Structure 1
Amino acid sequence: MAQSDLLVSSWCKNVKSLPADYIMPPEKRTTDFSVSKDIPVLDLGQEAGRGRSALIQQIIKAGEEFGAFQVINHGVSDDLMHEAMRVYEEFFSLPVDDHESLLSDDFYKSVRLYTSGYNYANEDHHLWKDTLKHPACAHPQDEVVQGWPDKPERYREIITKYSVEVRKMSVRILDLICEGLGLEEGFFRGELSQGIGMVINNYPPCPEPSLAMGIHAHCDPYTLTVIQQQVYGLQIKKSGKWIGVDPLPNAFVIMIPYQLQIISNGKLSSCEHRGVTNTSEARISVVTFCGPSKESVIGPAKEHVSASNPPQFKTYKYLDFQMNYLYHLSKKNLCNETALGPYLL
């Protein structure tokens, strides 16, 4: 079978029932959840005004209670968000021949189109999704663009603008988190947000969503995760229960990844999340992230360590954390215990 034929979007349109290798074991299926409007929606327009202090407190509280929040008035234009989503809709609708050069089963390839999880050939059960991943832009002249897809024609132009603007917003949010945690000004600038990338997931309509899974439960290994979604499908775990994130027009979902949990010495909670499917509508999620450079040394910030609040985590090189994370991800054995276990004190 050609690699392009493995893409769910290349063969699923007329499928009436779920293929056997896409049926998840009962314990992996999505049950017992509700869509919640309690997940905080924060107005970044308050950043420069009298509401700045209250906004920072809201961010920290959301990071403690949910590990996630949505932002509005964030500075990324509605038109640019819509254009980026249209580009990705066009990308995943291209003929399979146009995808051939991007398809790869190389787990570590920087620009890669693949289906299901990270290792299709070794999976017992496949995820109902196709994924494109590549580095993001830090500035408009960034050379990483040369490795991006060149179809549709507007891809590089639109996604350059989009990733630069989302990057600017991410740095602003990290600065607010920095202030809220009482860290040294600019703590998250530089090497702690140097690694930037994009992961775009396409979940076609699924004939039997109750038996399938879009993406398994996991937390992210980065410093900050930003998600654009237009269709419901994102769920987060709070107090042992799964709740759905209601998509808001022109909002971004912001998630707390592992590195913020560790740097804050457990004050902030990394967000465990997963993706589900539906029968009627394709769902695309555009994920942009900031992560540390590979050589960054990370541990609880000194401001959050004291005699009464001893460190919960070891100090480590981010490359070691990343390799441990990717190893367990490739083995389908990723959970908080396996990701954080080696770094707990």
Structure 2
Amino acid sequence: MKPMPWNTPADRRTLLRTAAALPAAAVMAGGALEGTAAAADAPGLPDFAPVPAAATGPELNDSGYFVGRIHGNLHWVTDGFYQAMFLSTREGVVLVDAPPTIGHNLLRAIAEVTQANGRPATVTHLVYSHSHADHAGASSILGKDVVRIGHAECRRLLLRADDPNRPAPTVTFEDRYTLQVGGETLELAYHGPNHAPDNIFVHAPEHRTLMVVDILYPGWVPFKNLAVSQDIPAWIRAQDIAMGYPWRTLVGGHLGRLGVRADGDLQRAYIADLEASTRASMNLDPTPYFDTYGPQGNSWAIFKTYLDAVAVQAAAPVAAKYTGVLAAADVFTLDNAAALVESFRIDAGLLGPFSTRP
């Protein structure tokens, strides 16, 4: 890799002191917005690298969605932001997830497919990948008679949420569940918490397809803060679990295209590079931060500016390496590094200058 311009101690110290004076997100994004008016007028919005052609999916129709066959009676639908998957069976349709951004286009996509193959268009079963509203929030449009299936923790979380748009599943499982409807089969499995406490793996073995949401992002870097995951070490392990399945096609739940196995390998390489860079950056000299804010008694300022600067240093070479390779490497790598910094501190015990005093 080409040496970065801040590889000398003096240059790096200048960069980090500058970063310490700004919110971390502003360092790579080119400045923060100052309210709704600024966003609406769009002055000073940052420029980002073009999205690589390999990251884009099929064009949407005039209604704003695309529906396509994965294999046999297994299909997927996307609006370019979110994805769902469905099986057309002799007895009705099994739908996996109901993202609200797709909304009623789910029903239009299903009708389009079932009219073509002469199968029933009624959704009889809905599988929740997990309880989050951005993937389950259109569940209510399916009515009360659909059989909703999810992990036991999904039921607990949705009962607590008491959201009429996300009725709790009535069929639950702890470890594994085989769903057989109209000659079609889905294998549901829970491998522990990762992105969410209830996130499951949905495998269609006959179709060599795996749907696992918010774990792998084909063609893109993960969403901010490592997919806003609640258990970062488990989220990283979940990538390996996903790659352990014998799938050919991945439905990742986000963005505009399906995944292939090379996408999983590429994301794991990105995460490995980010882990290595973050570990190295956690040796950053804390002296300027303690010298500046310690006399003021502002402990939070010490933490914020130091941790922000560590994230900036960790993210920079990784963002440079993957820009043009993975879409949005320059958008979310800083946020992902910041999440990894906190996980290393709290989960792995890499406390840096905040460790046990000698």
Q: Tell me if both proteins adopt one fold, taking TM over 0.5 as the criterion.
A: no
Larger fraction in strand? 1
Instruction: Report which of the two structures shows the higher radius of gyration computed on alpha carbons.
Output: 2
Larger fraction in helix? 2
Q: TM-score per shorter chain, which class?
A: under 0.3
**TM-score, structure 1 as length reference:** 0.27
Q: Which has the higher contact order (CA 8 A, sep 6+)?
A: 1
